[in-house]
Amino acid sequence: FIASAGAVPLYDIMSQISEKLGKKRPHLRVPARLASAAARVEEWRARLTGQEPLLTRQSVKILKESVFFDNRKASEKLGITFK
């Protein structure tokens, strides 16, 4: 569940997670076509080596969208209200 007082953009969530992990936040903007091509290559590499891909076409698709997370599900399922 996402516990927040309102809708939060994916970029803000990723920035907060990076900060808590002591990592640099995402800052590089990559054209969508280049990211999709890189994901295809990475998925191919992962299949060959048996490792998990670092980037997938699905993750690129999600990052291309304007994604917001809200607390509606947590409020409904848990009966919690956020301020």
The pLDDT of 19-23, averaged and rounded, is 91
Q: Which residue has the higher pLDDT, 55 or 2?
A: 55
Q: Residue 49: how many CB atoms within 10 A of its CB? A: 9
List phi, psi (to 5°) of 9: -65, 150
User: Using an 8 Å Cβ cutoff, are 29 and 53 in contact?
Assistant: no
The pLDDT of 27-32, averaged and rounded, is 84
Q: Residue 81: how many CB atoms within 10 A of its CB? A: 9
Task: Tell me the pTM.
Answer: 0.58
User: Using an 8 Å Cβ cutoff, are 63 and 6 in contact?
Assistant: no
pLDDT of the residue at 51: 97
pLDDT of the residue at 17: 85
pLDDT of the residue at 45: 97
pLDDT of the residue at 36: 95
